[in-house]
Amino acid sequence: MNLKKTFLYCLKQSSPIFIAFLPVGLAYGVLMQNAGYNVLWVGLTSLFVDAGSLQFLMVNFFTDSVPLITVAVMALLVNSRHIFYGLPFIEKFRTLGPWRHFVTYYLTDETFSLHCARKCPEGVDEKWAYIFTTVQVVGYWLILSMLGTWIGSLITIDMTGVDFAMTALFVVILVDQLRGADNRLPAIAAVISSVVCLAIFGPGSFILPSLAVTVAALVLLRNVIEPGKEAA
Amino acid sequence: MQIDVTRSILIIVICAGCTVLERSLPFLVFRGKEVPRIIQYLGRVLPMAIMATLVIYCIKGITFTSVVGWAPYLIGIAITAALHWWGKNALFSIAGGTIAYMLMVQMIFV
């Protein structure tokens, strides 16, 4: 086991997320600062909540007198897609010992994607790869959002579009999965379901119905996707 | 601006609690149990399905009323996918796709 090699491997894998977080993290810091919340509040929120869109929404919760029950409902709705992210890792995370709590706490879009994409080469320790990836992604978000309160408003370079790095990362991971797959139906079902749900429910609330429909479709298509494994 | 410290902390606790509850849900449901075959199957096929969903999620703001509303997204994704299908170097594909997208939104489709 080589921890340094594992850390560097994870760093290479997670680096696009740092780029994608650059404008968003800094902008979040600026927004919080303008709402009267200093770097300490930004750090606390990024460390304990660690969820991009919810944290932006929370700025409104902080400044407007939104009832706390509404806060809870909104928080549950905004991140509802996360309920699916643990499913591929139920057995895997059991092997992580006490670290499983840490890795589960920070199972976001970004860490989920990197965990799915990882194919540990020789000398890279799988358990520590889960932990280091999480530390790095949480660290990027924490540092950039806190940095935003100090230097966010000073940055004048036009970073418009740099957040596309996240989309590009997801595309790259998907292409790798499609290339190695016996069956591409899961991706096709997900795209059809997402596009249809986006048209019906709109951009704000399509993702939960879309994932629910996809899961239902995957269950129905089980014989087609994994023929011969139906025995149980 | 005067901030309400107690209320602000409560908001952080509520949002953190709700989020971690959702992230832990599958682990709580199957804690200490053997994972059912159907869930194991979903665990195998969901990563690809969720990545495809996340790609759509990233471009959910797409509109078709003008070319600016869709072209940068779809061309950017096509370039990234093409670079990666043939190039197979993840960082190169991501950098290429992102730079292409930035050029489009800053210089072409403005």
Across the interface, do A184 and B50 touch by the CB < 8 Å criterion? Answer: no
Domain that holds residue B75: 5-108
A71 and A125 inside one domain: yes
The H or E element spanning position B66 is none
Mean pLDDT of A8-19: 96
Q: Which of A179, A190, A232 sits opposite B37 (nearest CB)?
A: A232
Question: What mean pLDDT, rounded, does chain A reach?
Answer: 93
Q: What is the pLDDT of residue A21?
A: 93
Contacts of B10 in chain A (CB under 8 A): 68
Span of A108-122, A157-171, B15-29 with lowest mean pLDDT:
A157-171
A51 and A141 inside one domain: yes
A66 and A83 inside one domain: yes
Residue A28 lies in a domain: yes
> Which pLDDT band holds residue B103 (cuts at 50, 70, 90)?
very high
pLDDT tens, position by position, A45-92: 999 999 988 999 999 999 888 899 999 999 999 999 999 999 999 999
A60 and A29 inside one domain: yes
Judge contact between B105 and B72, C-beta under 8 A: yes
pLDDT tens, position by position, A131-159: 999 999 999 999 999 999 998 778 777 88
- Residue B64 CA to its chain's centroid (Å): 21
Across the interface, do B11 and A82 touch by the CB < 8 Å criterion? Answer: no
Residue A26 lies in a domain: yes
Q: Tell me how far CA of residue A16 lies from CA of A165, B79, B97, B104, in angstroms.
A: 6, 17, 12, 19
A100 and A41 inside one domain: yes
Domain count for chain A? 2
Instruction: Name which of A23, A22, A21 is nearest A51 in CA terms.
Output: A21
Alpha helices in chain A (DSSP H): 3-34, 39-48, 52-63, 68-78, 90-94, 99-105, 109-117, 126-151, 164-180, 185-201, 207-220, 222-225
Q: Is the pLDDT of residue A230 over 70?
A: no
Instruction: Please return the burial class of A109, using the count of CB atoms within 10 Å of its CB with bins 0-12, 13-18 and 19+.
Output: buried
Provide the percentage of residues in chain A whose pLDDT is more than 90.
80
Indicate if ipTM > 0.85. Answer: yes
pLDDT tens, position by position, A90-132: 999 999 999 999 999 999 999 999 999 999 899 999 999 999 9
Span of A53-62, A150-159, A177-186, B90-99 with lowest mean pLDDT:
A150-159
A123 and A156 inside one domain: yes
Domain count for chain B? 1
Give the pair of three-digit tokens for residue A81: 């897609």
Across the interface, do A165 and B98 touch by the CB < 8 Å criterion? Answer: yes
DSSP secondary structure letter of residue B64 = S
Provide the shortest C-alpha distance from residue B67 to chain A (in Å): 17
Provide the shortest C-alpha distance from residue A3 to chain B (in Å): 22
Q: Is the pLDDT of residue A216 over 60?
A: yes
Residue A204 lies in a domain: yes
Judge contact between A213 and A193, C-beta under 8 A: yes
> Which pLDDT band holds residue A232 (cuts at 50, 70, 90)?
very low
A206 and A138 inside one domain: no
Q: Is the pLDDT of residue B16 over 50?
A: yes
Give the pair of three-digit tokens for residue B68: 């600016």
Contacts of A108 in chain B (CB under 8 A): 23
Provide the percentage of residues in chain B whose pLDDT is more than 70.
99
Mean pLDDT of B22-31: 96
A108 and A14 inside one domain: yes
Q: Is the pLDDT of residue A208 over 80?
A: yes
Q: Tell me how far CA of residue B58 lies from CA of A167, A170, B62, B77, B88, in angstroms.
A: 6, 9, 9, 11, 22
Q: Which of B16, B42, B94 sits opposite A165 (nearest CB)?
A: B94
Mean pLDDT of B61-71: 94
A89 and A168 inside one domain: yes
Give the pair of three-digit tokens for residue A30: 């600026």
Span of A29-43, A151-165, A174-188 with lowest mean pLDDT:
A151-165
User: Is A14 in CB contact (< 8 Å) with chain B?
Assistant: no
Q: What is the pLDDT of residue A193?
A: 98
Nearest CA in chain A to B93: A172
> Which pLDDT band holds residue B36 (cuts at 50, 70, 90)?
very high
Q: What is the pLDDT of residue B1?
A: 59
A30 and A109 inside one domain: yes
Residue A85 lies in a domain: yes
User: Is A174 in CB contact (< 8 Å) with chain B?
Assistant: yes
Provide the shortest C-alpha distance from residue A167 to chain B (in Å): 6
Residue A109 to residue A207: CA distance in whole angstroms: 13
Across the interface, do B2 and A36 touch by the CB < 8 Å criterion? Answer: yes
Residue A178 to residue A116: CA distance in whole angstroms: 13
Judge contact between B77 and B97, C-beta under 8 A: yes
Question: What mean pLDDT, rounded, does chain B reach?
Answer: 94
A168 and A208 inside one domain: no
Across the interface, do A48 and B16 touch by the CB < 8 Å criterion? Answer: yes
Domain that holds residue A153: 3-180
Nearest CA in chain A to B24: A104
Residue A22 to residue A27: CA distance in whole angstroms: 8
A186 and A167 inside one domain: no
The H or E element spanning position B74 is helix B71-87
Mean pLDDT of B5-28: 97
Residue A231 lies in a domain: no
Give the pair of three-digit tokens for residue A83: 């309920």
Provide the percentage of residues in chain B whose pLDDT is more than 90.
93
The CB-side HSE value for A112 (13 A sphere, CA atoms) comes to 28
Mean pLDDT of A188-193: 98
